[in-house]
Structure 1
């Protein structure tokens, strides 16, 4: 359906791609991954409108191919006076109205041939969208996403997460040959994220989705496209299988790196000897032995991951404060309430100790961000922040903490660094070096901006970190680095997050929104609740076994015990099949 060959493209200040090649075929649900700023969104723009971009190489798109698009930056238009159902049905209603006009013209025209051609074109378009059943189909999709109760509400009254799902439903129902979605999961709460998973998995058409969400990656896709440092890796299979192939290649490359030259020659000689014996001896078993070994090599070669993708460096992230912290009260919230058009939280009370790591969990639009912002401002009568502690804040609205008009260097001089050399020494740990330091922050990707926020938090030496959706827009490698930095941090953290892996792996307990109040829940009960709602019965146990085996493989590799690593890799492969 779509074929890209030797595509190269660059901006004046940066080369993005060098001879990229990949294909997208009917029925594929493809996840598009890569570190922040690698050019994923730009590549999507090229696919959507090739004429606007001066690229080298070949781009073959079937002229009959239709494309749909869901942007990561879409927002509800408050001026829209239409229901959710009417918004989704817009294109269907539009064609119906056009058909009505054509039928009316037919009653009063002599040029029937032209109208018949126009009529047939509209009828074909309506049929391609299954227009005769659109009302029933819309209701089914809304029900699948647990949004049927919103059907008759004004679209402008939706939360950001609800509107994102409605947009996905709208584009899917138009039945494009290829639907492209750019980070459709950003800021979705876990219930909405699970609804998005259901929509993706039920979609029959071809999908290309930019996402860094570990939950979606593990459960939604059958092809991976990985873009890094101007190069591209294409993999047919699930993300969990892609990671396994990365691990297999890592074992292979490390073994080769420490092997003696004669051992490598000896292994190559086995095949040469078998080939020579098979040539001289027609015995069937000899031929089968050679064929089996060659087939094994071919299978490894077909699944082999390019070396630059095997061990991509994570940011060297740390939040400082590696000293021991005295156990004191950090934040006290007593009878806190917040309301906008309606009361969201009422009489909320809790305390946060100076070493607590806590996640606030709840649906979109329930007042979590307002609560975190009020704690940071420390000017609300129901909130008391210990005056002895320093507080740092990461906002999901990046403009609250970053000045888009500043260059990266100037932003960190404003943050308290004395010299540009100090800024450079700090930011190199976060992947920022060279020309990007002179770029305006407004020109950076969402992921790059969030990494800059984390770099500012890290240099603050704060005792309390207030993190509002810190994993949003972050690539997988930065998410893993953030998880580790949170685990190593000695101070207090209050974090809003819908990333199950970050919460389950790094928090002490959760504060879960229940109606208009907040109650404390142990991490064990939180895990059980999520797994009971969204996973098969044995999934948690299998996933824990998988993590255990992966850790054992890492230890074996550090000890250069490659035989042990290979045995464990076989065990891991069996677990992955069950997952």
Structure 2
């Protein structure tokens, strides 16, 4: 279907790829993963329109292949006055109208041969998208995504998550040879995420999907492409198997690296002794012995193991708490209501304690973001913030908290940093290299912008954090780092999220929006509800045991106890089979 061979590409300020190669076979569902800013979206752009880019290497696509594309950014404005059916069936309706117009023209035209040729071309295109069954197929996929009731609704009536699913259905129904999706899961609630999973798994064709969503990664793919540090590797198999393979490789490489380090240290001591002897004794053979030993050391250094896919640097997110709220309650919400065209929330009541971490969950379009914004603005009669609360806000609309025309340097000077060195030192912890410091924020990827928001948030000295979809666009390594930072934070957090992995890993309780109201739920009950509805009954226990084993392996590697790490790895392999 697609073959890339020894492809290299650079921006003026950054090398992206160095001789990367992979193939994509017919029918494969491939997850495209890698850290933020590694160049995944750019590679997708090159595949979509290779003529725009000056790259080295080759890119081969099956002849006459058609690509369907779903962007990570929804553009509703141009089509908001279109119905769902008209939007999905655009190509079908256009061909139907064209065939009808040609037939009408044939009734009066003398140039029948030209019209017959046009008619055949339109009919071939109609048959290529299974035109005779097109509406049935639309209905089937709308049902699969639980969106059949929206068939005759205007696009403007859909939530962002619902429109994303409609985009996916449209891309699938036009029967492309390859469907490419760039983070189609961003901002989807859990119901819509399940629908996306079902749509992906129902599709028989070839797919290449950029995603960091651990739920989709664990349940949708039979091939993994991993881009990291300008290099790429491909893995035929599931994401769970890929992660286990990485862990096994890490154990092997660290054991070899430890042996190499010992040898290098022994050799270094010998070289130092030989230097002293050679200085005191001018005999030629002493110098030759020293030079030979230095060459051995150089060879040892060259063969040191480099593992761009195994030893990925984890970002260091530090959420520092300001002055602690003395009283028990950080926030009270009494009889809060909000409505636009319809009532979203009505007579809502809840409290958040001074060190409590609370997730807000609910379907797309139920008023979660509006509630968080009004807490931040603190000008609503129903919202009462503790007078000692100092609030900081991370927005899913990134240009609300970031000036996209600023460089990273300007943004942090504006945030109160005094020197270039202070800014450089701070952003290095958030995976921004020094050469990026003068990059315009508008040119960064979605994940990099969210990481920049977190870097600003970490110096806000706030004791109440409002986080609106903080894991959106973040790579899986950054998501895990954020979970650690949230767990270690000593203040209050209110977080909107649809990522149940993040919720169960670091939050204390939940506020669930249902039927225009909010009810509080403890984490234990939430886990039972999610796993009962969406997984097998033993899934939660297996997942927890898997996580515990992975932690023990990590500790064994830190202690260089490679034998224990191998034994634990064998236990983990047996556990993974159950998943």
| Alignment map for 1:539-578 (pairs within 5 Å) | 539-578=539-578
Determine whether 1:250 maps to 2:250.
Answer: yes
Task: Report the RMSD for the aligned CA atoms in angstroms.
Answer: 1.8
Unaligned runs of 5+ in 1: 264-304
For residue 175 of structure 1, give the secondary structure of its aligned residue in structure 2: coil
Distance change >3 Å, CA 323–CA 309, structure 1 → 2? farther
The answer for the alignment partner of 1:23 in structure 2 is: 23
1:184 Cα deviation from its structure 2 partner: 0.6
Unaligned runs of 5+ in 2: 264-304
Deviations 1:514-539 (A, max 9, x none): 21110000111111111111112221
The answer for the alignment partner of 2:315 in structure 1 is: 315
- Alpha-carbon distance in 2 for matches of 1:565, 1:204: 40
The answer for the alignment partner of 2:45 in structure 1 is: 45
| Alignment map for 1:360-439 (pairs within 5 Å) | 360-439=360-439
The answer for the alignment partner of 1:239 in structure 2 is: 239
User: Quick check: 2:390–2:463 contact (8 Å CA) kept in 1?
Assistant: yes
The answer for the alignment partner of 1:137 in structure 2 is: 137
| Alignment map for 1:140-289 (pairs within 5 Å) | 140-259=140-259
Deviations 1:251-276 (A, max 9, x none): 1011112348999xxxxxxxxxxxxx
For residue 426 of structure 1, give the secondary structure of its aligned residue in structure 2: helix
- Alpha-carbon distance in 1 for matches of 2:551, 2:421: 37
1:565 Cα deviation from its structure 2 partner: 1.9
Distance change >3 Å, CA 13–CA 258, structure 1 → 2? closer
User: Quick check: 1:322–1:489 contact (8 Å CA) kept in 2?
Assistant: no
User: Quick check: 1:323–1:490 contact (8 Å CA) kept in 2?
Assistant: no
1:104 Cα deviation from its structure 2 partner: 2.5
- Alpha-carbon distance in 1 for matches of 2:183, 2:515: 29
1:433 Cα deviation from its structure 2 partner: 2.6
Distance change >3 Å, CA 261–CA 470, structure 1 → 2? closer
- Alpha-carbon distance in 2 for matches of 1:429, 1:118: 61
Q: Which range moves more in the overlay, 138-147 or 111-120?
A: 111-120
The answer for the alignment partner of 2:337 in structure 1 is: 337
The answer for the alignment partner of 2:518 in structure 1 is: 518
When the two structures are aligned, how many residues end up with a matched partner?
A: 538
The answer for the alignment partner of 2:291 in structure 1 is: none
1:96 Cα deviation from its structure 2 partner: 1.0
1:114 Cα deviation from its structure 2 partner: 3.5
1:327 Cα deviation from its structure 2 partner: 5.2
- Alpha-carbon distance in 1 for matches of 2:262, 2:354: 58
The answer for the alignment partner of 1:34 in structure 2 is: 34
User: Quick check: 1:76–1:158 contact (8 Å CA) kept in 2?
Assistant: no
1:487 Cα deviation from its structure 2 partner: 0.5
- Alpha-carbon distance in 2 for matches of 1:205, 1:118: 29
| Alignment map for 1:445-456 (pairs within 5 Å) | 445-456=445-456
Deviations 1:181-238 (A, max 9, x none): 1111111111111110100011111111111111111111111111112111111111
> After TM superposition, which residue ranges in structure 1, 4 or more long, deviate above 6 angstroms?
260-263, 322-325
- Alpha-carbon distance in 2 for matches of 1:117, 1:567: 70
User: Quick check: 1:75–1:160 contact (8 Å CA) kept in 2?
Assistant: no
- Alpha-carbon distance in 1 for matches of 2:420, 2:135: 60
- Alpha-carbon distance in 2 for matches of 1:59, 1:513: 48
- Alpha-carbon distance in 2 for matches of 1:43, 1:402: 26
- Alpha-carbon distance in 1 for matches of 2:23, 2:210: 16
- Alpha-carbon distance in 2 for matches of 1:332, 1:360: 15
**TM-score, structure 1 as length reference:** 0.90
Deviations 1:378-398 (A, max 9, x none): 111111111212111000011
Distance change >3 Å, CA 323–CA 332, structure 1 → 2? closer
**TM-score, structure 2 as length reference:** 0.90
- Alpha-carbon distance in 2 for matches of 1:432, 1:423: 11
1:79 Cα deviation from its structure 2 partner: 5.8
Deviations 1:32-88 (A, max 9, x none): 111111111111111111111111111111222110101111232376433211211
Determine whether 1:90 maps to 2:90.
Answer: yes
User: Quick check: 1:183–1:209 contact (8 Å CA) kept in 2?
Assistant: yes
1:432 Cα deviation from its structure 2 partner: 1.5
- Alpha-carbon distance in 1 for matches of 2:40, 2:157: 31
| Alignment map for 1:65-84 (pairs within 5 Å) | 65-77=65-77, 80-84=80-84
| Alignment map for 1:472-491 (pairs within 5 Å) | 472-491=472-491
Distance change >3 Å, CA 67–CA 500, structure 1 → 2? same
The answer for the alignment partner of 2:503 in structure 1 is: 503
1:418 Cα deviation from its structure 2 partner: 1.7
For residue 3 of structure 1, give the secondary structure of its aligned residue in structure 2: strand
1:323 Cα deviation from its structure 2 partner: 8.5
- Alpha-carbon distance in 2 for matches of 1:325, 1:142: 49
1:111 Cα deviation from its structure 2 partner: 4.1
User: Quick check: 1:75–1:163 contact (8 Å CA) kept in 2?
Assistant: no
1:116 Cα deviation from its structure 2 partner: 3.3
Distance change >3 Å, CA 357–CA 56, structure 1 → 2? same
1:324 Cα deviation from its structure 2 partner: 7.2
For residue 77 of structure 2, give the secondary structure of its aligned residue in structure 1: coil
User: Quick check: 2:325–2:388 contact (8 Å CA) kept in 1?
Assistant: no
- Alpha-carbon distance in 1 for matches of 2:153, 2:447: 33
For residue 102 of structure 1, give the secondary structure of its aligned residue in structure 2: helix
Distance change >3 Å, CA 79–CA 177, structure 1 → 2? closer
For residue 321 of structure 2, give the secondary structure of its aligned residue in structure 1: coil
For residue 308 of structure 1, give the secondary structure of its aligned residue in structure 2: coil
- Alpha-carbon distance in 1 for matches of 2:558, 2:67: 47
User: Quick check: 1:392–1:465 contact (8 Å CA) kept in 2?
Assistant: yes
